[in-house]
Structure 1
Amino acid sequence: MSDEHSPEISAVDLFCGVGGLTHGLVRSGINVTAGVDLDPHCRFPFEANNSAPFIERDVKDLTADDLRPYLFRGKYSLLAGCAPCQPFSTYSQSGRSKKRGMDWRLVLNFGSLVRELQPDLVTMENVAQLTDHEVFTEFLESLEGYSISWSVVECTKIGVPQSRKRLVLLASKLGHHGLDLSPQFADEPKTVRQEIEKLPAIKAGEQHPKDRLHAASSLSEINMRRIMASKPGGTWRDWDPELVAACHRKTTGSTYPSVYGRMEWDAPAPTITTQCFGYGNGRFGHPTQDRAISLREAAMLQTFPRSYKFLKRGEPVTFSRLGRLIGNAVPVRLGEVIGKCLVEHVNTYENGNVEMIEAESAQESSRLF
């Protein structure tokens, strides 16, 4: 968690969701003073796990004055966020509503708030495809006067046990030194086994009595036969012909081998999506148990702590809603790595200033004598 030597950085998390980025920033030593999101279902998990208020607002309706009381509470200020990425996601290129198709404007709203507020630090996390679009160039233009660093990060390199490529942008008014995530890269990727193997076994359609989030969706008779015929890392091409879905027998369906697949214990998981609770939606089968991964397992593969609360007492488990909240979240570990990078960057800036002041003082003393 927070380090007593961390510089005093206050942050506001835009598009905060259930708090993945916030929780990671807090673990790195940054004081998140508020989270903003339009989705009311995010309020409980955000506030129950993070010592910050949840502001239920559409970011496009926010003004700089709305955020100033929260943002400028420390020596340094950080505006952070991950604007909804549906327009650019490879998982949502078809069947997208017109409303979702306009979500790219939220990136520009983020940029407008940066331009007005002029925080010391900015970080934006988003889908890798954003860099191919004009809106990203426009966002960069809103960062005039900042040192900027951005890269597409494969999350397996930073301790997230899933293959997930994300754009990470860092910007600072304190200079460019240290705006680099690579020092946080791990030597070996974290695996599915390391993250979820110790969870108690459950069956398809079952919920663990001591953890309501450790619940797995039910399987039809045909899907139970399919998962029993599946091996970790394999595909539906390994099945007997009568188990193969008609759509996959067609030429157009043969290019989707990962659906109806099992994860492998000793490899990272695939990207955790909003539909990760469904066996037929990707390689979301448990490595050894005949079921899809549970919601708790999905959250842990997103590096949320096992104790992270997503439900109020007595609140029913709704797979579609919780899957959406978990799949859309920023992995906590990614937030922590971003936070550590910014903390070290500010520390370097402060130490550099101290050295400069001491050098100037020494020069002045030599003139006096």
Structure 2
Amino acid sequence: MKHQSGMNEVDTTIEALVSAVDLFSGAGGLTNGLERSGIDVRLGIDIDPACAYPYTANNKANFVLKSVEDVTAEEINDAFTNSRLRLLAGCAPCQTFSTYNQRARETDSRWWLLLQFARIVKEVSPELVTMENVPNLERQNVFQEFVQTLKDEGYKVSYQIVNCAEYGIPQQRKRLVLLASKLGAIKLLDPSLCGSGLKSVRDAIGDLPPLEAGGKCDMDPLHRCSSLSPINLRRIRASRPGGSWRDWDKELIAECHKKKTGKSYPGVYGRMEWDQPAPTITTQFFGFGNGRFGHPEQDRALSLREGAILQSFPRDYKFVAPDQDISIATIGRLIGNAVPVKLGEVIGRSILAHVNELECRAAVLSGGMQYA
């Protein structure tokens, strides 16, 4: 059986071989990517109630509303019933490690959630582990503790910082990706093996219906954008793709940017460029003043749907039930926090390639491969 993905066709005849549980699942970006690669995701766990609908409406896996701190090995093992190879996956909340967070401290409870991930790894002992997070995490002691725990538990570990744009995701987003396996050495697939060239903003969202600031599309309720104040409407009209507030007339420049400390933030109040990948999609991408999130030619910020597409979510991905009101701030947070779906797919394909390689090697040596 073949599964048509955003990359190449993927052979899913071995999909029952690897089952997964997604810790810190969010709205399902990583899960959706893993499923598209052919991995059988059984369960997603997150503490945010807003994640429940998008996770279950778009994915096959079940969802549990719970803090990972309270998750037991028994719950994980129940989800892995009848699994041949088990994958524990997740992206611990990354805001505390982000370069945008200048006040990150070990007193932030999120700092230690990675150690809860390590606890579950030790208690469940899955054959495979993957984690995705911001690059800054690599420099933190808590990450090195996590890596050492994996090695002490018998895993071969690899990790690297990747730019999502190299894998065909239409944004410049650098992420730390870790893979670990008890079966042998494992690594992330090279971009050249994933069949995806550079994808631009135009490629991703150039065909969406035009909107005015504060408007929405009748055909897609998620294709809606925030309104702009009169001064911000003047500012965006004065902005050029790839430019910044430094291009404006003096009367348009915010007082905070006239100060010496404000001059180091040229990336806010900017328009994206049609023929380049988007900047990193944050949880505030729906606000023109929050980054280079102005539409390349329309006088508005990105819509929710555009942000989701730039995060490589499918165009029909559902984020809110039909009978519920749409909160731009809530859905923007879900989209910005998500693992890009295509990066999840690359991770899944890398894991399956690793398993296939071992299976083929074992077949050559002994005529077959058995897993407990």
Contact map agreement 1:71 1:79 (CA 8 A) in 2: no
CA shift for structure 1 position 279:
0.2
How many residue pairs get aligned? The number is 357
Q: What does residue range 1-369 of structure 1 map to in structure 2 within 5 Å? A: 1=3, 3-7=11-15, 8-94=17-103, 101-143=108-150, 144=152, 145-176=154-185, 178-183=186-191, 184=193, 188-358=197-367
**Whole-Å separation in 1 of the counterparts to 2:347 and 2:325:** 34
Contact map agreement 1:157 1:186 (CA 8 A) in 2: no
Tell me, what secondary structure is at the counterpart of 2:157? strand
Contact map agreement 2:12 2:37 (CA 8 A) in 1: no
Between 2-11 and 271-280, the greater mean CA deviation after superposition:
2-11
- Taking structure 1 as reference, are residues 108 and 97 closer, same or farther at Cα in structure 2, changes over 3 Å only? closer
Aligned-pair identity in percent equals 54
CA shift for structure 1 position 98:
8.9
Contact map agreement 1:18 1:329 (CA 8 A) in 2: yes
**Whole-Å separation in 1 of the counterparts to 2:166 and 2:180:** 22
Cα deviation, 1:58-105, whole Å, max 9, x if unaligned, reads 0011111111011243221100000011221112224x7997x12021
Cα deviation, 1:163-199, whole Å, max 9, x if unaligned, reads 11111000011111x5233254667421111100111
Q: TM-score, normalised by structure 1?
A: 0.93
Structure 1 counterpart of 2:139, one-letter code: D
- Taking structure 1 as reference, are residues 97 and 203 closer, same or farther at Cα in structure 2, changes over 3 Å only? farther
CA shift for structure 1 position 13:
0.3
- 1:367 — aligned with what? none
Tell me, what secondary structure is at the counterpart of 2:130? strand
Structure 2 counterpart of 1:239, one-letter code: W
- 1:365 — aligned with what? none
Between 278-287 and 309-318, the greater mean CA deviation after superposition:
309-318
Structure 2 counterpart of 1:248, one-letter code: H
**Whole-Å separation in 2 of the counterparts to 1:71 and 1:168:** 23
Cα deviation, 1:22-54, whole Å, max 9, x if unaligned, reads 000000000000100011110000000001111
Tell me, what secondary structure is at the counterpart of 2:160? strand
- 1:366 — aligned with what? none
Computing the radius of gyration over CA atoms, which structure comes out larger, 1 or 2? Answer: 1
**Whole-Å separation in 2 of the counterparts to 1:64 and 1:104:** 21
**Whole-Å separation in 2 of the counterparts to 1:73 and 1:142:** 26
Contact map agreement 1:10 1:73 (CA 8 A) in 2: no
Give the ranges of 4+ consecutive aligned residues of structure 1 lying more than 6 Å apart after TM superposition. 96-99
**Whole-Å separation in 1 of the counterparts to 2:148 and 2:246:** 48
Structure 2 counterpart of 1:264, one-letter code: E
Contact map agreement 1:10 1:72 (CA 8 A) in 2: no
Structure 2 counterpart of 1:179, one-letter code: K
Q: TM-score, normalised by structure 2?
A: 0.93
- 2:6 — aligned with what? none
**Whole-Å separation in 1 of the counterparts to 2:41 and 2:247:** 49
RMSD: 1.7
**Whole-Å separation in 2 of the counterparts to 1:4 and 1:200:** 35
Contact map agreement 2:96 2:105 (CA 8 A) in 1: no
